[in-house]
Structure 1
Amino acid sequence: MKVFSVVAFASPIMAAALGRAVTPTADQANNTFAELDDIQVLCGVPTPSNELPAESYAYPIGMLLSAAGQSLHMDAGPANCKQAACGTKSGAGVIVCNDEKNSVDLLYSDIGFFAQQVYNKCKHRRDDIDYVQKGQAFCPDGWNVILTDVGTDCHASTIPPN
């Protein structure tokens, strides 16, 4: 599967990160739906489950989506994980894991795209507030992204320059 950068993918978080509304072209929209079929998203995993107000994920996901062209190096796995982004005040974090036996370089924007898929699928409304349950999105290329509460252990609040 070819993972693609989603700068033109329409989402509330992306629009907030860019400060304007963005709409995909017809061709991009068709490709997006074809690619989404290959992504498995599970909510409530890995255990134990947790949830945060949905707005908590706006900063970390927006930061990832707006880091066009920058990449994160992941050493060989399996289960080699590290924080890709987090919010220092909210505890919301995005963790990426490499399950392959070789190292990979992943675009931050692609990690953000997978984080956005977890956000979309695991969001629910309770007491007039949107929450996002902890969840994980799996890429067929052997890596995955987890949305979770990292608490005060945030050490990826900015994207380092390449």
Structure 2
Amino acid sequence: MPDYKLMAKQIEALAGVCGDFLPLLSNASAVLNEGIERINWVGFYLIDNGSLLLGPFQGSPACVRIEIGKGVCGTAVREGRLLRVEDVHRFPGHIACDSASRSEIVLPLCSGGRIVGVLDIDSPERGRFSEEDEEGLSIVVSSIEACADFSRLRL
């Protein structure tokens, strides 16, 4: 099981160096990529002029823009909640950025009471993510929300 509390502390320490969202999310994606096994993509999509724009990530090239309400990421934003998908090929409207991905977990990121983006993690294994991952990643997201300055985003 990944040590999500340790990852959250690492991200908080990195925020002490610079709380601007861009370097912080870049480092957070690296921390998560190093700390979570059996994943093939981890990164962030950020709200930009009414849709999600690709942000810092680790993995293969990804979809650049996702409309709100489309795919797992856009649906998580529209519904304002975490989504854990056992098999992305069974998710209505799934956007296949990487055909190797089988399961996905997406957590909204908030600032000032508004969703500003999502943390998105994919795995080539069906059913890779658990309730424990939900709880642990929620701790990580809370740390990012507390530390990151999202004021430059074009919401």
Q: TM-score, normalised by structure 2?
A: 0.30
Instruction: Give 1 or 2 for the bigger CA radius of gyration.
Output: 1
Higher helix share: 2
Q: TM-score, normalised by structure 1?
A: 0.29
